[in-house]
Amino acid sequence: MGLHADALPDFPWDALTPLAELARSHPDGLVDLSVGTPVDPTPGPVRAALAAAADSPGYPTTAGTPQLRDAVVDWFARRRGVPGLDPAAVLPTIGSKELVALLPALLGLGAGDVVLHPSAAYPTYDVGARLAGATPVPCGDPVDLLDGDDAVRLVWLNSPGNPDGRVLGVERLRAVVDAARRAQLRHGRPVVVASDECYAGLAWEGPWVDEGVPSLLDPRVTGGVLTGLLAAYSLSKQSNLAGYRAAFVTGDPALVARLLEVRKHAGLMVPGPVQDAMVVALGDDDHVAVQRERYRRRRQVLRAAFEQAGYVVDGSAAGLYLWVRPEGDQGCWATAADLAQLGILVAPGAFYGDERHVRVALTASDERIGQAAARLSAA
């Protein structure tokens, strides 16, 4: 696998440094809502499992322990409406970002291959295509491109979406899968659909609150056939495990076997104690409900404050962010600067392919969220 590091864009967060300095100069300090990094405690039982496994002198297996693979299968059946996954088709990853960045290369993509990703998207989908030497193409609806461009080899979906909180329902997911299958039949080359689902437990509006956010692997989407499909999930958000780098991918057994083979050669292994902690986290729904309620409260406070201050919140039906813009035509950098004057640091939408919005993370303490709301009200 070739990695084309010379094709990478500048790291976007470096451009935020001047606004961070401005926000930090506020008399009451910085409220950092720019990065979606958890701030609440890692659940006690998960930390206990990590500590109990701390005596870990041997190498972990790349494939993951049988206990972890079974825990993922059970979790998908219990929480995502996806029964009967093959434990052998579960692969732990070192967080989900490395999988997103490396998947095109791990699949053997290169020059002449196209990777589709959402038009407003986490920048690592673009980066992963560039690293492999493939061509990233942002799009609102991948179905049209799948039906018209035989160079498409990988389609990234992200539901709920980062940054905009968009949720793809069963019919929309099935339409993408069907289009990918038509494309493969037409030109005889594999077309993989990969879904980044790390915010799936954080639905706030619409039918998703009661029905749940559907997975790409849902039988209503796949018709019971997982060929060419992968779903990635991270425990960073639901369980405050960002520091553990605890994630996994599952789906098509043949694709997972290919990923496993390359990852064994590359030494990409999730540490053994982290795997034990993941088993506990996946089996405990109580701490997930507690954390979700924290985010629900923070979202309610922030949304009300932004709307009362004259901002518009678009989308944001699920996930860890509010997708915010002012009335009128002001660009995202000017909006981010306005908020930095209040000591509130947000991420300009330009990082995600959008010049109008800013992304506001819910990942700050109750006290800092309250500070941000008070400053917006006072302004």
- Residue 219's CB is within 10 A of a number of other CB atoms, namely 15
How does residue 1 score in pLDDT terms, banded at 50, 70 and 90?
low
How far, in Å, CA of 293 to CA of 286, rounded? 11
What are the b/e assignments for 334-352, b being 16+ CB within 10 Å? ebbbbbbebbbbbbbbbbb
pLDDT in tens, 65-80: 999 999 999 999 999 9
* β-bridge partners, 347: 359
* Bridging pattern class, strands 246-251 and 347-348: unpaired
Q: Domain ranges in the chain? A: 5-41+287-378, 57-284
Best CATH choice for the domain 5-41+287-378 from the list 3.40.50.360, 3.90.1150.10, 3.50.50.60, 3.30.9.10: 3.90.1150.10
Q: What's the first-to-final CA gap in the chain, in angstroms?
A: 52
Residues 235-242, mean pLDDT to the nearest whole number? 96
3 or 334, which is more confident = 334
How does residue 14 score in pLDDT terms, banded at 50, 70 and 90?
confident
pLDDT in tens, 129-142: 999 999 999 999 99
> What percentage of the chain reaches a pLDDT higher than 70?
97
pLDDT in tens, 304-359: 999 999 999 999 999 999 999 999 899 999 999 999 999 999 999 999 999 999 99
Measure the CA angle with vertex 93, ends 266 and 295; round to 5°: 155
Q: Is residue 276 a contact partner of residue 52, using CB atoms and an 8 Å limit? A: yes
**What is each CA distance from 72 to 64, 98, 183, 232, 260, in whole angstroms?**
11, 19, 31, 11, 16
What are the b/e assignments for 201-211, b being 16+ CB within 10 Å? bbbbeeebeee
Residues 236-261, mean pLDDT to the nearest whole number? 97
Is 221 in a helix, a strand, or coil?
helix
pLDDT attached to residue 3: 63
pLDDT attached to residue 15: 87
pLDDT attached to residue 96: 95
Q: Which fold has domain 57-284?
A: Aspartate Aminotransferase; domain 2 (3.40.640)
> Is pLDDT above 70 for 215?
yes
How does residue 13 score in pLDDT terms, banded at 50, 70 and 90?
confident
- Residue 153's CB is within 10 A of a number of other CB atoms, namely 26
| Residue where the block lists tokens 């990777």 | 115
